[in-house]
């Protein structure tokens, strides 16, 4: 499992073959803390995870 930050708050990212998904409970806490919609927090977390590895394999390939 990886981790990213959205607005300074950590969100765990579950990584499986070809897919990354932000942990719902973490994202919900960030949504409440920041006032952002949950859907937006989830999207930002997953985008941050993708942006963290320009090669696109996060060490998996």
pLDDT digits (tens, 9 = 90+) for 18-60: 788 999 999 999 999 999 999 999 999 999 999 987 566 655 5
User: What value does the mean pLDDT take over residues 1-18?
Assistant: 93
Query: Of 29, 53, 54, 52, which Cα lies nearest the Cα of 7?
Result: 29
- Alpha-carbon distances of 21 from 1, 40, 51, rounded to whole Å: 10, 13, 14
User: Who wins on pLDDT, 46 or 16?
Assistant: 46
pTM summary value: 0.84
Write out the two tokens for 42.
């989830």
Domain boundaries, the chain: 2-51
pLDDT value at residue 16: 87
pLDDT of amino acid 58: 59
pLDDT at residue 34, rounded to an integer? 98
């Amino acid at each position: 499992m990886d981790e990213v930050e959205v607005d300074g708050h950590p969100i765990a990212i579950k990584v499986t073959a070809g897919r990354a998904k932000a942990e719902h409970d973490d994202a919900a806490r960030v949504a409440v803390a920041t006032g952002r919609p949950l859907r937006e927090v989830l999207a930002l977390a997953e985008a941050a995870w993708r942006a963290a590895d320009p090669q696109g394999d996060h060490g998996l390939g």
